[in-house]
């Protein structure tokens, strides 16, 4: 039987980068559409991370139960952090991108957040 991959601190540090790259990708593709919010769930981020990191698909979740559980928990914690912060900023190709964060839904532990791209036309101030 194969042992489950370990999620080391260095591997864990790549989760926020994946989230930010997904947001940037959505913004770059969104120029063709009208502006809308980007909805992402913590479980979908975890599934994508596991697949990109180890090539393990969500259909293999039973076999790698602890890995999926651990990564999903870490993604939920990351989502809670950004929700509390209310804003995500990242830089891509020398351009700063800012996203407002809001809770869309929370279904059986799967936290779904909405991300709104903030550009020069938007004003976003988070009050304490």
- Confidence (pLDDT) at 128: 39
Where in the chain are the domains?
9-118
Output phi, psi for 93, to 5 deg: 50, 40
Whole-prediction pTM: 0.87
What is the full per-residue pLDDT of the chain (128 aa) written as tens digits?
568 898 899 999 999 999 999 999 988 887 655 667 899 999 999 999 999 999 999 999 999 999 999 999 999 999 999 999 999 999 999 999 999 999 999 999 899 999 998 876 555 444 33
Residues with Cβ < 8 Å from 89, sequence gap 6 or more? 96, 97, 98, 99
Output phi, psi for 37, to 5 deg: -80, 155
């Amino acid at each position: 039987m194969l042992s489950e991959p370990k999620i080391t601190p260095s591997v864990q540090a790549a989760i926020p980068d994946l989230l930010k790259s997904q947001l940037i990708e959505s913004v770059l593709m969104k120029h063709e559409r009208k502006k809308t919010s980007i909805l992402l769930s913590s479980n979908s981020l975890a599934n994508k991370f596991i697949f990109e990191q180890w090539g393990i698909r969500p259909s293999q979740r039973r076999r790698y139960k602890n890995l999926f559980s651990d990564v999903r928990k870490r993604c939920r914690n990351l989502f809670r952090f950004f929700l509390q912060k209310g804003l995500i900023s990242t830089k891509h190709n020398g351009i700063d991108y800012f996203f407002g964060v809001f809770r869309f839904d929370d279904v059986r532990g799967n936290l779904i957040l909405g991300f709104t791209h903030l550009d020069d036309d938007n004003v976003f101030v988070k009050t304490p």
